[in-house]
Amino acid sequence: MKAFLITWAAHVRDSYWFVPSLMAVGAIMLSFVTTGIDSHFGAGWLEEVSWLYANKPAGARAVLSSVAGSMITVAGVTFSMTILSISYTTSQVGPRLLKNFMRDTGNQFTLGVFISTFLYCLMVLRTVRNGESGSGPDAVTSAFVPHIAIIVGILMAIASVGVLIYFIHHIPESIHVPNIVAGIGRDLNRQIEHQFPSRAGKPHEKKSQRQVESDLPESFYKTATAIKARCPGYVEFVDLDGLMQIAVQNDLVIRMRFRAGDYVTPGNVLMLASPESNVTDEIVEQLLATFVSGSQRTAKQNLRFVFDQLIEVAMRALSPGVNDPFTAINCMDWIQSALENLAEREMPDAYRYDDNQTLRMVAEPEQFEDFASLVFDQLRPYVSADRNASIHMMEMIAKVAVSASSESHRRLLVKHAAALRRASKKTLHDERGLELLNERYRSIIRLLRDPQYRRQVLDTGNWIGGRA
């Protein structure tokens, strides 16, 4: 249930309708409050305010009708502008970025302001009445004009004009490609800070006993029962704390087979739980409830998805139809920032223990090597064909290698640099570009072999002479 609620809350928060709906409900409630105040105080207070004038019923209707009509018209225009900008931008940078625009607070707030102002004026308009005479016990019905409510409606209309000015500025800003890339890059770094290190259980107290590879003895598989998926979709969220709690309460060891972002089909083994004798039907339902799947990948717990967004923008920029290497370079700068952030963090252990140092969960942790390969292996075929992009990626690898404190990370980066150099030699025909690429590659080799040189680079920030 916790996994479902967290996922549902994330979907609602990122939706385009939630904030406008809240504001619309608030506007309706405000209309009842202001008209109630008008009913209580009447119109006598207007005589004490010299710069306010009382409205007649006809004039009140005209004001409220004008504001309501204009607001719903502007709301339609802003919605059309939003859809048009989203359609254009996603066609240029990739459809996977649609959700980024839908959860834009500025767009949601703008639509909410216009809709709420329209509904407020509409609700107040229904309370305006003329004085009428008739027969029966209520021979005369007094006129009612909600002056306070009308003033509030006019103020909301004035505020809506300010929001419209903001929106006209916000739309071109939000579809500017560097701003889009920067937004994804900031989300990526925030996700790294939130996700690492893992919080599901604790690694072994002794560092020598920590393992990143999830191997278990054959006896585990003989005594384990398989917990299988029941519906297809992408794993959106895994309640790791809930899994750990179930394992502790029922004395289980859980071997996870899937993680957030993976696609599962009915019958796929989500996890193995051992011993089988402790796994009842009720426990199976509890374990399945910790997994939530949907129709698309999301950024929740899935760092690869955010990396893929930047990689997709860079790939499209380097495609022959677009040919925009500077956008790709912009993406690589933000990817470099994320990789440097990852290189400084402690990666999660595959084996997770409870407070008594009893093994409870075995997962497939994502390591720095996985993210580095995700980035460089996917981008290499596109980058190697462009002189500017290939040189910049080589510089990017060097800068990440400088900041990486682990020698194994630096060795991995050297391998990726060598692969880029080989691919570029096959596709680039610019001798000066290849010379610069080789120069940067030799500097990366030196960073690995010469600790004193690396220390010098860290202190001075200058690892090569000259620029491309």
Strands 263-264, 233-238: pairing kind: antiparallel
pLDDT reported for residue 468: 38
Alpha carbons 373 and 57: distance in angstroms, whole number:
71
Angle formed by the axes of helices 431-449 and 451-460, to 10°?
110
On average, the pLDDT of the chain sits at 84
Please choose, from the candidates 367, 369, 371, 461, the residue with its C-alpha nearest in 3D space to the C-alpha of residue 415.
369
Percent over 90 (pLDDT), the chain: 33
pLDDT reported for residue 89: 77
Helix (H, G, I), strand (E, B) or coil at 279: coil
pLDDT reported for residue 56: 78
Please choose, from the candidates 312, 308, 430, the residue with its C-alpha nearest in 3D space to the C-alpha of residue 382.
312
**Does pLDDT of 135 surpass 90?**
no
Alpha carbons 247 and 287: distance in angstroms, whole number:
9
Alpha carbons 445 and 368: distance in angstroms, whole number:
20
**Does pLDDT of 316 surpass 60?**
yes
Mean pLDDT for 195-213 is: 52
**Cα 450–chain centre separation:** 40
pLDDT range class, residue 118, cuts 50, 70, 90: very high
Compute the half-sphere exposure of residue 432: CA atoms within 13 Å on the CB side of its CA: 3
pLDDT reported for residue 47: 59
Ramachandran class of 67: left when φ > 0, alpha when ψ lies in -120 to 50, beta otherwise: alpha
pLDDT range class, residue 92, cuts 50, 70, 90: confident
Please choose, from the candidates 332, 457, 309, 310, the residue with its C-alpha nearest in 3D space to the C-alpha of residue 388.
332
* pLDDT tens, residue by residue, 425-458: 998 888 888 998 998 898 888 888 887 887 877 7
Amino acid identity of residue 303, one-letter, is L
pLDDT reported for residue 53: 62
Helix (H, G, I), strand (E, B) or coil at 216: coil
pLDDT reported for residue 72: 92
Question: Between residues 5 and 176, which one has the greater pLDDT?
Answer: 176
**Does pLDDT of 212 surpass 70?**
no
Is the CB of residue 339 less than 8 Å from the CB of residue 372? yes
